[in-house]
Amino acid sequence: MGQWAWHGAPTDARTLLSRVLTPQTRYLVFDLDRTIHLGHNLGELLGWELTAWFAYGAEHWAEAGVHGPVSRFRWDAPTPLALARYLTRGATTWAYPGLHYLLWSRILPHWTDRGLYRTFGSEPRPEVQLMPTLALLHDLSRLPLETSRTLADAVFERCAPDQVIDREDIAWVQATFPELTVILSSASPQPMVEAAADALGITDYVHTEVEVHAGRLSAPPQWHPLLSSVEQPEWICPPSAFRLNAGHRKIGRLLERYPDFLDVETVGVSDTTHGEDHPWISYFSRVVDINSPTPFPVLVPEDARLEAVHSAELLTRREKDEGVVDARRLHLPRHGNQACTLDAAALASRWSATQHAADRLAETYRAEWRALADERRRGEALQARLETAQQAATQAYNAAPSAESFAKVQRKSAAVTRARARTRLRMRPLLDVRAAIEQVVATSAAMPTATPRPESR
C-alpha cells in the first residue's frame, strides 16, 4: 500500500470525495448503515418501526408520520392497551436477538478475540449480525412489500438531520465523474436499501435477498428456538435464494454483478463499525472510513491491490446548518487529531514489526489449512447433503403448508446449524490462528504518530 491519510477536522462529503476520486475511478461503493448517517443503523430502526406498526395499527402510524426524534422506541401509543401490545411485542421480537448482538459485539471482549472465532467461524461479524437480521426478515414477511417500503421511507426521512451524504452529493459525483458507477451495498433488507437508494438518487444497489412471493418478502430459511415471535409463514425462502450481503459476501455479490470490478479503479466508503467491512482492503483500489469507531487497518495482504487508506469525519446536515458539533463524534478514536499523511516508506517503518508478526502467523495458518484439509472436505460434504435436504423440505412446505411440514423445515434448518457448529469445533486450530492474525492486523488501525503533511491522492 502506498499511502495512508487522515483528513483531520470534520469536512463535507464533496470535499472528501474530490480527494479520493479520480477520472479513472469506475466504481464508487457506499455502505449504508452508519455510513450515510452518523450513528444510525437504518435496518435496526426499521425493525422497531415494524413493531410500532403492528402494535399501534396502520391508522395511528399514518397520523404520527415521520415526525419526532430518531429513536428505537415509539411511546406515542393511542391507548394504554396499545402501549402494552407494543412493549410485549418488542420484547418477544427483539429481546433475544438484541441481547445476543449486544453480548457478542459490545459486552464480551473485542471482536477479534479467539472465543468469537471459535463460536462463529472464520468470518464472525456477519454471523453475529445474523440473529437480528433473521428477526427483521421474519417480521417483514408479514407485510406487503409496498407497506414495508412505506415504513422504510419514513425511517430514512426521520434520520435526515444526521445525514452526512445526500442526494446532492451523489448528483455532484455523477456530474463530475460521468464514467463512474455509484453503488449502495448493505446487509439491510430490500425495502430499506431501496428506500435509501431512491432518496439518494442511486440506481445500482445490493441488499440481503430473500425470495419475493405474492408481493411479499418470503420468510428466511433459518430459525432459532429463542426467536419466540416467529409464526408459521405463508412462504419460506428456499435456502438457495437466501443471500446475506455482509462480510466477504458483499465482495462476491459485487463481482457477480460487475465482472470487471477487480480490473478497474474502485473506491469503497464505509463506517466499517466493528470491522464489518475490513475485507474491502483486499479488493478495492482505495478505501475510506468515515465517522468510524473501528477504522480500516493499514496492514494488507501481499496480493491486495490497495493503493491507499483514507480516514475522515463527515459533517451531518444538522452540524452544517446549525454550526454545532455532534456529541457522538467526540467519542470517535481519531477526533481532534491533526490531518496527516504517511507514504509507503513511513508506513513500512512504522508497521514493519507488526507486518512480520502477521506474516509469521499467515505461514502457520497455511500449514493448519493443509493439515485440516480432509476434515474440512468431510464437513463440507455433510453440510451440502443437509442443505439439499433442507431445500427439499422447504419446497414441500411451500407446495402444501402445514404445521407438520413447517416443523420438518425447522428440523432440517437446525440440522444444518448443528453441522456448521461441529465443523467449527474441528477447525478450532485454524480459527485460533485466524483470530490471532486479526488481533495483530487490528493494531495497525491505531492513529499513528506522524508529522502532519498535506493530503494528496
Residue 386 has pLDDT above 50, yes or no: yes
Distance of CA 21 to the CA centre of its chain: 23
Cβ atoms 4, 289 nearer than 8 A: no
Amino acid identity of 406? F
- Is residue 196 within 8 Å of residue 41, measured between CB atoms? no
| Cα dihedral 432/434/438/441 (nearest 10) | 120
Report whether pLDDT(11) > 70. yes
Task: Provide the grid cell at 117.
Answer: 472465532
pLDDT (tens digit per residue) in 94-115: 888 888 888 887 776 555 578 8
Continuous H helices in 208-301: 248-257
Q: Which helix (H) or strand (E) holds 24?
A: none
Residue (of 154, 162, 101) closest to 126 by Cα position: 101
Q: Is 321 exposed, middle or buried (0-12, 13-18, 19+ CB in 10 A)?
A: exposed
pLDDT at 229: 56
User: Where residue 310 falls among pLDDT bands split at 50, 70, 90?
Assistant: very high
Is pLDDT above 60 for 450?
no
Three-state DSSP class for 171? Answer: helix
Q: What is the structure's pLDDT at 228?
A: 54
> What's the chain's length in residues?
457
